[in-house]
Structure 1
Amino acid sequence: MSVEYHQPIDNPEDVASPCVRNCCLNEQDVCLGCFRHIDEIMAWRQLDVATKKGVLNKCQQRQQQHQNK
């Protein structure tokens, strides 16, 4: 399974939440639906665009690590 990220319709300058409505936290408090840490999920709306893109990069790395287990 691969997480798909979509641009928000109302503000193309922003970064859409990677939430896929499949929330399940692992032992490290990382969601196995979008691969964000709980702290990243809670702070998402307050993050600037650059930080959101950094979070998405981390999510992709976590997803790859999870798939390689």
Structure 2
Amino acid sequence: MTDDVWKRNEIASPCVKICVVHPEARICTGCYRTIDEIGGWSRMSDADRARIMDELPARKSSLTKRRGGRRARLSQG
């Protein structure tokens, strides 16, 4: 027996539980959504969610990675 009360026919969240906002791009480095998209996800229409899901792969390539971290900065000084 299945519990139909808890079955929902909606687009799943792209969240991967890596919630770090890129300081320049202002998008999550885990799921590539903006803070507004993350906060409003549960209230969005299926069409809005689908549109965002289609945009996410392109956002990944827009992020610039930090290279070297603290060690690289210290060795340059």
Q: Same fold (TM over 0.5)?
A: yes
For residues 34-55 of structure 1, the C-alpha deviation after alignment (integer angstroms, 9 at most, x for no partner) is 0001110011000010100111
Answer 1 or 2: which has greater helix percent.
Answer: 2
How far did 1:56 drift? 0.8
Unaligned runs of 5+ in 2: 1-5, 65-77
SS at match of 1:64: helix
For residues 4-62 of structure 1, the C-alpha deviation after alignment (integer angstroms, 9 at most, x for no partner) is xxxxx822x30011100001101232000000011100110000101001111121110
Q: TM-score, length-normalised on structure 2?
A: 0.66
Question: Identity over the aligned pairs, expressed in percent?
Answer: 31
Q: TM-score, length-normalised on structure 1?
A: 0.73
Q: Which runs of 4+ in 1 moved over 3 A?
A: 64-67
Unaligned runs of 5+ in 1: 1-8
Across the aligned residues of Structure 1 and Structure 2, the Cα RMSD in angstroms comes to 1.9
Aligned length: 58
